[in-house]
Every structure is written in structure tokens, then in C-alpha cells.
Amino acid sequence: MLFNSLSFVVFLVIVLVLYYSKLFNWTNKKRMLLLASYVFYGLWNPPLVILLWISTVVDWTAGKRLALEDNPQKRKLWLLLSMFVNLGFLAFFKYGDFLLENFVSVVNSMGVDFQAMPMDIILPMGISFYTFQTMSYTIDMYNRKIEPAKTFLDFALYVTFFPQLVAGPIVRAKDLITQFYEEKRATYNQFVWGIFLLTIGVFQKIVLADTLLSGVADDVFGSSKLLHGVDAWTGTLAFSGQIFFDFAGYSTCAIGIALMLGIILPDNFRYPYASLGFSDLWGRWHISLSTWLRDYLYIPLGGNRYGITRMYVALMLTMLLGGLWHGAAWTFMVWGGLHGTYLILEKLQKRYVPFKITKWNGIFLAFITFSCVNITWVFFRAREFDTAWNMIKSMFYMQPGGEKILDSFNIVKVCAVIGILFMCHWIMRNTSMREVSLKTTPWVLGVFWAILFFLIVIAQGSGEQFIYFQF
């Protein structure tokens, strides 16, 4: 079920009515939320709910055993069981075809004539999100960083909580499970703020991502021709905005919906396109994933504890695997590799050519960071390397002889939207929407809210999927 769909509106109203009715006690409300979450997921593909159940039962059992067990060997085995099941699901469902294709290529390159039947495996929606979330529980249990969930119901709801089930934020057990222990009710202000966040999120998705930007990005990246530089840059900027609005829109909806239930989810984006460098970027973009990768991959790989070279290797490996997390294709690895390279270069710059960031050079630095990020999006969006290379050639050599496929209005439209996006991020980078709203008069906020809602209505989204569902 999509947040930007009519069925979700009906679903949410029913859930809220049941949640705030006096029919149920807190335990039964949690049961209702769990059932609703399975319905939310099952309305997409019912049999795949079984994967959620398996993940839940395996990690609940592993977590329970890890809490009781003192034998280090047995503890390791329980952790491995959890990792094997969750990473096994990912390997089979997400990377099965990719692994098979690459195996065939390697075998063929060795002169062996082998062709495999494509497995055509269906990718369960949000599998990368919920497997990472549930793995964090068992890893934290193994490291004795958290207490086990009090009941199976609390744990199952943690794995399946519908607002963030299919596209995050990836929430840690200590931040979410504990919220289920006591009855939660949103205050009046929290509830209304939740509706406002839901409006903002849907606006980002339907109006900004789908209506204003997706068409240009699709046209440019769908073209097999060598494009004019202006078209290539416009298409890349359009995708840059589209993926931000799409994904941040989903996270904002998720946070808003949870808030309407009185549950607090962490921020997932903090105005990333005004980042001052790449360390700053990864502290602002998909924060729940970057902190997950930091805590469960980068630090176990050594982090900065074993010298500079090892740190750079750990950083690069983390970013490469982070790229692969997004999709089973080499283009995603290149995307991750570019970000790894940026981070290493930034660390080298800070070590050998340090300079102070002022308000004068800050916006320039933010612009440079944003431009470099745009280059990585080319590899993220292009389905094939040929398309990506054509785009890069057009962007850097400008290709005045390249094909023009965008009309002037579309170029102006994309540049205006992205220009406003960049300036908004720059202005907001040290504050939050909540803080700004506190300083805004109710009239201005109300009119702004009405404009967003009106534009959502007249944009009439066709219920397109969020991009991150495929990850």
C-alpha cells in the first residue's frame, strides 16, 4: 500500500479510529497495529508476509537466546543464524539474478559455454529495510548493548510497524521497542503536526517528484542518444531533486503517521543538499542507513582504530556495500565507490589542506558538494554503463553537437525547482521545520498548508511507487 493512495487514506482512518477508540486496552491496540501492518504489507503481495514472519521468529528466538546464553561460541552461533537467515533472504531475493548473471559471465569468459535460466525472482518490497532493522536487534543483543524485547508482540511490532516498514527510517530497537512498553497517545499538537508532516511528505512525492521532475529525468535517462550538455545536466538535476523529494517525502510521511499514533521516529534527512562536504552529507542523507552502516559495518571493519590506510579501506568497503544495498547492479557499486572516493579525498584535504569554513565560502562549498553528488546520481539512475558514460561525456564536454530533447520550459522549470531546493536547504541547514513553524504565525502556516494540499489535489498523483521501494 502506498502513502499516496486512496486505499491508504481509508486504511489510516480505520487504524486511527480503532487506535483512539476505547474498545481496546494497550496490548490489544498493539495487536491491532501489528495486524494492520500485515494487512498494509499483504495488500501488495500476501505470500511475502511469510518472509516477515520468518525474520521475526528467527530474530526473536536468537535475541532471546543471546540474552540468556553466556557461552561465547553458542552466542556467536545464534548471531550467525540471524545473519544467515536475513542476509540469505537478501542474497536470494535481491541479488539472486545478479549473482547468477555474473557467474555466467565469469564462466563464459573462462571459455565454458554455460547459459542459466533466469530465475525471475520477485523482489519483496522493502526487504532491505526490514532485514537491516531486525539484524540490528540481534547484533545489539550480541554486543549486549540492549535489553531483549519484553514480549514477542513488542518485537513483532518493531519489525513490522507499518509507517516505516517498507522504506524506513531504519529504526534501532532501543529507539522503538521501548516506546511500545507503555500506552502511547499523540497530544493534540503532535497529532496535527503529524497531519502536517504527512501533507508535506505527500506534496514532496506527488507534486515535486512525480509532477515536476520525474518526466524530465525519465526522458533524459531513457534516451539512447548522446545528449547536449544542457539536457544531460538538466536531466541529472531533475533526478537529483526527484530522488530527494521521493525518499525524503516517504520518510516525512512515515514520521508524521507514527506521530499521529504518538510514536516518535527519528529524522532521516536534514537538508542534505546544503552539506558542507561528504561527511556532512552522510550525516544528513538517509541518516538511518548511514548510521547503520557506520555502526554495523565501518566500525567492525576497523573504523579509524587501526591507522589511516585501514580506515580508508574500511570506508571504501562500507560505501561499496552501501551502494550494493541500493540495488543489484554494478552501477550502484560505482555510485558507492564514488562516494567512498569523495570521503577519502575529503579526509585527505582536512589532513593536508585544512581551511576554515566561513559564511562566505560555505555556500560555495555546499554548491561544490551538491555538484559532485549530482555526478554520482548519474550512475545511480542509469540502468546501464553506456547510458551513464554518455551522460558523463555530455555533462563534462558539454557536447554542443549532442541531441537536444528538452524544451526551454522544462529546462527553466527544473532549474527553478532545484535552485529553490538548494537555497531552502542552505537556509534550513541549521534549523528544522518544527523550529521554523514555531516562529510562523498560524495564518501563514495555514495558508501555506492549504496551498500544499490544493496542489496535491490538482496534481492527482497516479499512485506511482516510491523509488526506494525497490531497494
Partner 1 sequence: MNLKKSLIIAFVISAIAIIAWELFWRSQDYSPTIDDNKALWSVQRDRVTDLTPNNVILMGSSRTLFDIQLDNWENETGKRPIQLANVGSSPLPIFHDIVENTNYTGTAIVGVAPGLFFSTTFPKAEPWAWPQSRVDHYKARTYAQRINHQLSLPLQQSLALMSAGEQELDDNIDLKALLKRITFGNRIPEGMPPFYEFGEITSLDRNLQMMEKTVKDTAFANTIIEVWKFFGRVSPPPDKEATMAFFLKDVEKFKARGGNLILIRCPSSGGVRAGENQAFPRKDYWDQLVLQANVKAYHFEDYEQLKNLKCPEWSHLSVNDARFFTNELAKIMISDNAITNLKTN
Residue 354 backbone phi and psi in degrees, to 5: -70, 145
Residue 438 near partner 1 by CB under 8 A? yes
Cβ atoms of 218 and 464 closer than 8 Å = no
Among 212, 237, 276, 366, binds partner 1 (CB under 8 A): 212
Residue among 194, 60, 27 nearest 137 (CA): 60
DSSP code of residue 206? I
Residue keyed to cell 589511516: 308
Residue 320's CB: how many other CB atoms inside 10 A?
18
Could you tell me the smallest distance in angstroms from the CB atom of residue 255 to partner 1? 16
**Using the rule CB under 8 A, is 73 a contact of partner 1?**
no
Query: Residue length, the chain?
Result: 471
Q: Measured over all CA atoms, what is the biggest interatomic distance in the chain, rounded to whole angstroms?
A: 72
Instruction: Catalytic residue, from 286, 326, 339, 425: name it.
Output: 326
Give burial (CB, 10 Å; 0-12/13-18/19+) of 182: exposed
Distance between CA atoms of residues 102 and 94, nearest Å: 14
Among 200, 243, 405, 417, binds partner 1 (CB under 8 A): 405
339 is an active site residue: no
Cis peptide before 163 (omega within 30 of 0): no
The set of cell numbers assigned to 462 is 497516479
- Is residue 470 near partner 1 by the rule CB under 8 A? no
Site stretch for partner 1 (CB under 8 A), options 167-175, 242-250, 393-401, 409-417:
409-417
Query: Can residue 211 be called a binding residue for partner 1 (CB under 8 A)?
Result: yes
Residue 454 binds to partner 1 (criterion: CB under 8 A): yes
User: What amino acid is encoded at 201 in this protein?
Assistant: G
Interatomic CA distance for residues 103 and 95, integer angstroms:
12
Interaction of residue 196 with partner 1, rule CB under 8 A: yes
User: In angstroms, what is the minimal distance from the CB of 216 to partner 1?
Assistant: 11
Task: Please report whether residue 348 would count as binding partner 1 according to CB under 8 A.
Answer: no
Number of residues binding to partner 1, judged by CB under 8 A? 48
Sole window of 93-101, 145-153, 205-213, 419-427 interacting with partner 1 (rule: CB under 8 A): 205-213
The one segment of 28-36, 88-96, 273-281, 442-450 that binds partner 1 by CB under 8 A: 442-450
404 binds partner 1 (CB under 8 A): yes
Question: Does residue 153 interact with partner 1 by CB under 8 A?
Answer: no
Kindly state whether residue 42 participates in binding partner 1, applying the rule CB under 8 A.
yes
Nearest to 90 by CA among 60, 135, 35: 135
CB 51 within 8 A of CB 38: no
> Smallest distance, Å, CB 454 to partner 1?
5
Taking the alpha carbons of 448, 453, 459, 464 in that order, is the dihedral positive or negative? positive
Among 156, 220, 411, 418, binds partner 1 (CB under 8 A): 411
Beta carbon nearer to partner 1, 152 or 453: 453
Residues at the site binding partner 1, with contacts judged by CB under 8 A: 1-2, 5-8, 10, 42-46, 188-189, 192-193, 195-196, 207, 211-212, 215, 404-409, 411, 413, 437-438, 442-443, 445-447, 449-450, 453-455, 457-460, 462-463
The residues carrying an active-site annotation are: 326
